[in-house]
Amino acid sequence: MLEARDLYCERDERTLFRGLSFTVDAGEW
């Protein structure tokens, strides 16, 4: 299983996303 919590991405001083969370179970990717 893969789990990500509260991801934040910024590019060229612009926020692309913030607070992104997800889980992926084995076999789904």
Task: Give the C-alpha separation, 22 to 4, whole Å.
Answer: 5
Q: Could you tell me the two tokens for 9?
A: 């991405």
pLDDT of residue 11: 98
Predicted TM-score of the model (pTM): 0.60
> Among 28, 25, 23, which residue's Cα sits nearest to residue 3?
23
DSSP string, 1-29: -EEEEEEEEEETTEEEEEEEEEEE-TT--
Domain count for the chain, please give it.
Answer: 1
pLDDT of residue 21: 98
- State the maximum Cα–Cα separation within the chain, in Å, rounded to a whole number: 36
Mean pLDDT of the region 6-28: 96
% of the chain residues with pLDDT over 90: 93
Residue type, 7: L
pLDDT digits (tens, 9 = 90+) for 3-14: 999 999 999 999
% of the chain residues with pLDDT over 70: 100
Q: Which domain holds residue 5?
A: 1-29
